[in-house]
Structure 1
Amino acid sequence: MDGWEAVAAGVLVRRHAELDLTTGLVIGERRALVIDTGGDHRQGAELAAEVRELTPLPWDVVLTHGHFDHCFGTAAFLPAPVWADRGCTGYLREHAERQRAEWSERYREQGRPEVATALGATTVVLPDREVTGSAEIDLGGRTARLLHLGAGHTGHDLVVEVPDVGVVFAGDLVEQGAPPDFEDAAPREWPEALRRLLALDPALVVPGHGCPVDAAFVREQRAELLLLARVCGAHARGEISTAAALRESPYPEPTTEQALRRTS
């Protein structure tokens, strides 16, 4: 689980034991692009050191969204341009300290005080390159496209397309190995974001957690999300009870309850 995998020429994926997080690296002729940075200053520093072993090129950083496990390690990569959807900055300003407090408590309850301590000592870095809709980064010999495909896992998800090899880094718009997370989600809009992702005709999709998947996997997950969206809509309109919604959902009860709260 824990290590780098080359999924295309100059495109690498790193799976982490912590939360089964998946980060990415795209290497061009003149620059490299780091996709997500881990959940605290220690994780970020370890990732930065590993990237530096793979390439001496200067790097840009892209944050797929503002959940702590994807972006609290960014300070280790400075100085560097830090790209994110324009909504990510506001989300971090409003929710970074809440995330820090909640997850520090969770790690202590798990008997992992060292992780809680690292999280408490982490400096949260705000993006300084805000993306409105789309942007391109010239890495030399190849271009990375940054795309906001609509609300889904959050209201500010950003995917990274590497068109010359057909790879898309989807962040948590796609989940492998666990149900999607709806804490900040838009359950009824998420399927449309995945339709737009599939319209890119990816050969390979890298989820925010888990191993890379193909387009067929994304289509199946979209079908599940479409079913959930219908269930959530019917529940919000009072057409079905909570018990019926839990029965009809394709996901476990805690996941479905979270999605229902996001559409109440």
Structure 2
Amino acid sequence: MVGKGFASTEDLGEKKVSFDQIGPGLYAYTAEGDPNSGVIVGDDSVMVIDAQATPAMASELIARVAKITDKPIKYVLLTHYHAVRVLGASAFKGAEILASDTTRGLIAERGKQDMDSEIGRFPRLFRAVESIPGLTWPSLTFPDQISVWLGRREVRIMHIGRGHTAGDVIAAVPDCGVVFSGDLVEYKSACYCGDAHFTDWPSTLDNLAEMQPTALVPGRGAALTTAEQVKEGIELTTDFLSTLYGSVKESVAKGRSLKDAFDFVRLAMDPKFKSYAIYEHCLPFNVSRAYDEARGIEWPVIWTEERDREMWAALQG
């Protein structure tokens, strides 16, 4: 078998950006499996959900917002700490940068390594990388829940459980039942699980499903604009996670090596999920983390540029 190009270094084709209204004053900025952002327009100001990977990419989002409202972007919510979500934040001049306490702790613990790692994995997403001033630090953090008011419009930001990372939050707009989920939900795009908590993630998704959102913006993939689509998106994400972790747990129980566990996981995953965006990129990272968790390594090991390449050569080489 010919080795596959590292991560997404060969994914150089431009993606078509969509900017769709999914509720009153609510918008989804999506791009065919690239990281999504969300926009919430209130009476007096705007909140953006996830800042894109670079200030240059964030400026494209800011230009879209300017076409729908002249209200200022006062808040940028980081749903979690990953570089593709946060490093564009400096483009939002004067905005309050919000994140959970746990996300701030993860930036302190592993933000620099994650930044270097992600830039190496996905060069197309980090165009104009030189415009990034450094790590993004939130200016306001909270333990589990906070309400932010955009005039009379409430945005309820909640940590509903660990999943994609330990610090994930969602943003719910109670006046219309719409939720921005970050990478807790992906729609027909692979979940990246390199920093995941597999044991917790499905119950976190159950907590989300109990909220019965009328529409949902996932971390990647198309916006889900009906309750039925939201249900499907949550179910597909749960199936992806349980198929993956179930296979790897079985391999660990049988004493298989990481490479053998990776080969076995393909038998379960490829028939259902091979067509998903960034599937091949994610799979080695996903299996590595699942293998660790199944062996009792509760806190995800930090990814570095060097570790990325060594793991890739061992599994995808």
Q: When the two structures are superposed, what TM-score results if normalisation uses the length of structure 2?
A: 0.73
Contact kept, 8 Å, 2:181 with 2:216, in 1: the verdict is yes
Q: Distance in 2 between matches of 1:66 and 1:72?
A: 9
Determine whether 1:135 maps to 2:146: yes
Question: What does residue 194 of structure 1 align with?
Answer: 205
How far 1:127 sits from its partner (Å)? 0.7
How far 1:235 sits from its partner (Å)? 4.0
Query: Which one of the candidate residues 224, 229, 232 is aligned to 1:216?
Result: 232
Question: What does residue 184 of structure 1 align with?
Answer: 195
Question: What does residue 179 of structure 2 align with?
Answer: 168
Distance change >3 Å, CA 223–CA 101, structure 1 → 2: closer
Q: Distance in 2 between matches of 1:162 and 1:39?
A: 25
Contact kept, 8 Å, 1:159 with 1:170, in 2: the verdict is yes
Q: Deviations over 1:69-95 (max 9, x none)?
A: 111110111312111111111222333
Q: Distance in 2 between matches of 1:97 and 1:227?
A: 31
SS at match of 2:157: strand
Q: Distance in 2 between matches of 1:247 and 1:256?
A: 15
Q: Deviations over 1:151-192 (max 9, x none)?
A: 110111111111222211111111123221111111121101
Question: What does residue 215 of structure 2 align with?
Answer: 204
Q: Distance in 2 between matches of 1:167 and 1:39?
A: 24
Contact kept, 8 Å, 1:30 with 1:57, in 2: the verdict is yes
Q: Deviations over 1:171-226 (max 9, x none)?
A: 11111232211111111211011001111111112111111232232123224423
SS at match of 2:22: strand
SS at match of 1:173: coil
Query: Which one of the candidate residues 18, 38, 58 is aligned to 2:52?
Result: 38
Identity of aligned residues (%): 25
Q: Distance in 2 between matches of 1:229 and 1:115?
A: 30
| Greater relative CO (CA pairs within 8 A, separation 6+) | 2
Question: What does residue 69 of structure 2 align with?
Answer: 55
Q: Distance in 2 between matches of 1:100 and 1:254?
A: 19
My pick for the range that moved more, 74-83 or 254-263, is: 254-263
Q: Distance in 2 between matches of 1:45 and 1:32?
A: 15
Contact kept, 8 Å, 2:186 with 2:233, in 1: the verdict is no
Query: Which one of the candidate residues 86, 90, 95 is aligned to 1:80?
Result: 95
How far 1:233 sits from its partner (Å)? 3.9
Distance change >3 Å, CA 27–CA 122, structure 1 → 2: same
Question: What does residue 150 of structure 1 align with?
Answer: 161
Q: Which runs of 5+ in 2 are unaligned?
A: 1-15, 225-229, 275-282, 296-317
Query: Which one of the candidate residues 37, 40, 43 is aligned to 1:23?
Result: 37
Q: Distance in 2 between matches of 1:134 and 1:68?
A: 23
Q: Which runs of 5+ in 1 are unaligned?
A: none
Contact kept, 8 Å, 1:168 with 1:202, in 2: the verdict is yes
Q: Distance in 1 between matches of 2:268 and 2:49?
A: 36
The one-letter code matched in structure 1 to 2:291 is: R
Q: When the two structures are superposed, what TM-score results if normalisation uses the length of structure 1?
A: 0.86
How far 1:259 sits from its partner (Å)? 4.1
Contact kept, 8 Å, 2:43 with 2:151, in 1: the verdict is yes
Contact kept, 8 Å, 1:172 with 1:208, in 2: the verdict is yes
Question: What does residue 308 of structure 2 align with?
Answer: none
User: In the comparison of the two structures, how many residue pairs are matched?
Assistant: 257
